Chain A
Amino acid sequence: MKYQSFLIKYAEIGVKGKNRYMFEDALVKQIRYALKAVEGEFEVTKESGRIYANALTDFDDEDAVAALKRVFGISAICPMVQVDDLGFEELKHQVASYLEQVYPEKNFTFKVNARRANKQYPMTSEEINRELGEVILERFPGLRVDVHQPEVMVHVEIRSRINLYSQVIPGPGGMPVGTNGRAMLLLSGGIDSPVAGYMIAKRGVVIEAVYFHAPPYTSDRAREKVVELARLVSRYAGPIRLQIVNFTDIQLYIYDQCPHEELTIIMRRYMMRIAQRIAEKQKCLGLITGESIGQVASQTVQSLAATNEVCSMPVFRPVIGFDKQEIVDIAEQIGTFETSIQPFEDCCTIFVAKHPVTKPNIHIIRKSEEKLSERIEEMVCEAVETAQTVLCQE
């Protein structure tokens, strides 16, 4: 069965009152973007509370469905066939041949659900339901009607042409990217941060990202891995501008000046400070991290409080209450897991002390940071200014 178009249903944005058009427009834009990567040309239109994606050329329908399943804001994707209105007798054949082709096994319960946008049509919806139901029963003896909980709901929408659809493929839900501001993701190369980025993007937020590179302690392969992760997240979140910050000098300076068991926490504080400065430059309104309480020494509640203290922006931590396995499950589902587990060291693992503090005292940390006062401001500025930008997209 070759579909020509998809009817796209959306959930949450339907209830957004006067802003509804804005949400719909954002969704249309995201659908267009997603389908650009698919072979074939599409026309995406908005029509009385519906979004349609019509193929103008031959297209790869598996790829198209896969792409649409990654567009936040879509609650369901219905592959649809459009037929010309050639009268009711012809419609009977059209519906039968539709079912013939879509369902190889004809042993399910069904119900016909007709709607008339074109009220000139000579029959009422009820009449259409009944008559088409009879035709289907006659033609396919294995089918049974169930008006309450049909396995297949055969939708027949009568407009200037007639839309037939019955398959409902669940979409990812959420809100269209671009409807909820912009935030800066701290991307490490691990399992958690790509998941965090995905989750915030799902709420409609445009994602930017920052990665801390520490050559020669981290390799170019580790950097490539992060670029690849950003690209994988961009399949959902749209193009991601990744800033690669050279962090080596700052790291070494902290190592020289501060107690080694505090290295990680002080380093994290500077990462947050730098991320925030870049975020401000890029007009982001928040930071995103993949932190989860208690996962490592730098993610105890005390450590989180200590790193959080340097931020004036809100820090979104969508996986904060997740177990590792729950995060892994999402990473596998969105396809970032395999890349995340490639064994390249990131700069957090290089300078880890044998016994890092797990309950940092904020006053002591601040005191230690005073030892950096001579050069750190200049170094942070340089790190921000020399950050390299890589645009990550499909």
Chain B
Amino acid sequence: MEAYLDNSATTRALDSVQEIVARVMREDYGNPSSRHKKGMEAERYIKEARSVIARTMKVQDKEILFTSGGTESNNMALFGAAMANQRAGKHIISTRIEHASVYQPLACLEQLGFAVTYLDVDREGHIRLQELEEAIRPDTILVSVMYVNNEIGAVQPVEEIGRVIKERNPRILFHVDGIQAYGKYEIRPKRQGIDLLSVSGHKLHGPKGVGFLYIHEKAKVKPLLYGGGQQKDMRSGTENVPGVAGLGVAAREMYTDFSERIRRMRELKDFFIDRLEEIPGTVVNSQRGEKGAPQIISASFQGVRSEVLLHALEERGIYVSSGSACSSNHPAISGTLMAVGVKRELLDSTLRFSLGIYNTREQLDYTIEALKELLPVLRRYQRG
């Protein structure tokens, strides 16, 4: 059996996504900027995807900007907002559990003379609204908070955060890294006070190399890329038409039968957490039910190195991440796990299981059985 439980790293593209990507590459390969018919046909895919995505969040088509993915969307939001609003102030607020594609741009902005306040989180990975309120200064221009944490699945109270910010100063821009949230939550930027929202295509069974940034029509943001003036001068570069078309299809599918799909995913998650807790020496770091994201289960296994367990599971066709896949390239211990108070000796013993639409209860049972067999053996052989 194969159990791909690394859907927060990336997902298998839907068949309908594969089809449209191939069709655009094969038949409708024109450049949307070309004046001829081929160009117009290509442009139609972009328009269609834009409007499908806008409808999923009840925003306007013109507020969707296509990018190369989550990292670019986050960079665009942070640098773009900071550069466009620096006259109003140079203070930014974020949290200690952001993804590298947020905290690295922030570190860069600090070098450029911006001040960043990083909010702590509690055991469940939530920021405290009061701390946020106290952190807001007259020169604060931007608040950046991730919707769903990629390592443990903690969900921030986005709407409340939006309200706190806007009550203090409606001109402060609110950026939400929604990369693990879009497709899993009904996001309503207008109601939630979100000015900027980053999304990546391949986390929702869409193609890699494409994503979008929602930009509130009134938000001032400077482009990152300059050139031919595509996308109303906001992001030059020929549009990734196959990718955008695929992203549009994936977005539509994820928000069709949405509640039923998420209910089922949540059931699987709770089931998996229940079964993990049967295993002695296991600590689940994620929350059951509505308190955590429906797709992410982080668990620590006493006395086993996550890297070894990961490879042992891999031998049985079970694919998971240690920490988050994007950051497991460098050996730095996860900031999120430390921030939510995972015990030091468990930091290097933590795996992330993440669900997608293709996972089944049988795969989860299979994974639990594999863990039950492997853990006692692996625990016998420890370093030192």
Contacts and interface: CB of A to CB of B under 8 A. Distances in A.
A260 B307 CA distance: 22
B314 interface: yes
Interface residues of A, number: 17
A215 B331 CA distance: 20
B381 A215 contact: no
B36 interface: no
A252 to B, nearest CB: 6
B308 interface: yes
Nearest to A349: B383
Given A219-B307, A343-B331, A255 B381 contact: yes
Contacts of B307: 219, 345
Main secondary structure of the interface of B (DSSP, over half): helix
Contacts of B308: 216-217, 350
B384 A260 contact: yes
Most chain A CB within 10 A, of B312, B313, B315, B383, is at B383
Interface string B314-338: 1100000000000000010000000
B331 A216 contact: no
Given A255-B381, A352-B383, 7 more contacts: A215-B312, A216-B308, A216-B311, A216-B315, A217-B311, A219-B307, A352-B384
Contact of A216 (B314, B380, B383): B314
Contacts of B314: 216, 220
A280 to B, nearest CB: 31
Interface string A335-357: 00000000101000011111000
Interface string B123-165: 0000000000000000000000000000000000000000000
A260 B383 CA distance: 9
Contacts of B310: 216
A219 B314 CA distance: 10
Interface of A: 215-220, 252, 255-256, 260, 343, 345, 350-354
Contacts of B331: 343
Contacts of A216: 308-315
Nearest to B316: A216
Contacts of A220: 311, 314
A353 B384 contact: yes
Nearest to A353: B384
5 contacts: A216-B312, A220-B311, A252-B381, A350-B308, A352-B384
Contacts of B384: 260, 352-354
Nearest to A219: B311
A11 B380 CA distance: 58
A343 B383 CA distance: 18
B168 to A, nearest CB: 45
A189 to B, nearest CB: 15
Interface string B339-382: 00000000000000000000000000000000000000000110
B311 A351 contact: no
B221 to A, nearest CB: 37
A209 B68 CA distance: 43
A123 to B, nearest CB: 66
A309 to B, nearest CB: 26
Contact of B315 (A215, A252, A255, A354): A215
A218 B305 CA distance: 12
B58 to A, nearest CB: 44
A206 B312 CA distance: 36
Contacts of A256: 380
